[in-house]
Amino acid sequence: MIIDRKQFTINNKCVIEKLRIKAPFRYGAIFQDNACFLHIKDGEIILNSPTEKLSVHTSDTVLLKCGAYFADFIKNTKKHTCEVLAVHLQADILKEIFKDEIPNFIKPDNRKNFVQKIERQDIINHFIESIDFYFQNPGIVSDDLLRVKFKELILLLLQTKNSENIIDLFSQLFTPRQVSLKEVIQANLFSDFTVDELAILSGRSLSTFKRDFETYFKDTPANYLKEQKLLRAGELLISTDFSINEICYQSGFSDNSHFIKSFKSKFGMTPSEYRKSEKSR
């Protein structure tokens, strides 16, 4: 759950926000007309895009292009909270700030990735510290100051070791990628996403997602996904020494008892019995 949330806005649009979240927690976000600079101040996140899954740890920074995402905040033995800082790169505000200074940084591009990690740099850490100062002293923050911080962030990124890729990266941040239904399903087949969440990742309403799914796969989403996960579990039981709990997770089930019940319904025996039977052949 979100414990604390602070944000700054320009023209009634959130441009910078700081969140503290109690893990475990799944947070969904859809960036329709803005990209996002995301810095993990503390904690661990599994970042899911329509076609990618990325582990992001303390002090990691990523750039997210327009699209739909789910962030799974991970609970560990040392700490149960995560803290993130997000700078929402609103296309209209960036155009206003830069005008003709970087003329090609917003244009269509055919790159396929939704997420790109930014190499750890001291200058990025100093920028994060300066943002923290403004959250501690919100009374001094104005629209003009926020515009300066926007520009500073872009210029700092141009000073990083991967600066040669930054302008290319910006050229595709604001061009939502059209992903096929097949791509989304293949990338997330063994996740624990619900049908509603898969619809969001695909950029479709739930009803459209179900209709398109049944047209392509000739089955309902619930039946098809469950079948594929159970087949995957059967393969893992034979080919690995993973525990039943681990196979449950690896196959995309979130509840062990539900997994065992579903497996027995399909194969006529529990996962343990199935493994023993297959290995005795």
Domains: count for the chain: 2
Clarify whether residues 157 and 195 are in a common domain: no
Most confident of 24-38, 63-77, 255-269: 255-269
Rounded Cα distance, 60 and 40, in Å: 6
Residue 168, pLDDT score: 57
Clarify whether residues 209 and 266 are in a common domain: yes
State the residue range of the domain holding 193: 181-279
Residue 177, pLDDT score: 61
Cβ atoms within 10 Å of 37's Cβ, excluding its own: 22
Average confidence (pLDDT) over 244-263: 93
Gyration radius of the chain's alpha carbons: 22
Q: How far is CA 252 from the centre of its chain?
A: 17
Angle at 219 between CA 213 and CA 224, to 5 degrees: 90
pLDDT over 60 at 63, yes or no: yes
| CATH code, domain with 243 | 1.10.10.60
Clarify whether residues 35 and 163 are in a common domain: yes
Clarify whether residues 143 and 260 are in a common domain: no
Clarify whether residues 102 and 164 are in a common domain: yes
Average confidence (pLDDT) over 124-132: 90
Q: How many helices (H) and strands (E) does the chain have?
A: 11, 10
**pLDDT single digits (tens) 175-217:** 556 678 999 999 999 998 999 999 999 989 999 999 999 999 9
**pLDDT single digits (tens) 67-120:** 889 999 988 767 789 999 999 988 788 777 776 555 444 444 455 567 777 776
Local confidence band at 153 (pLDDT 50, 70, 90 cut-offs)? confident
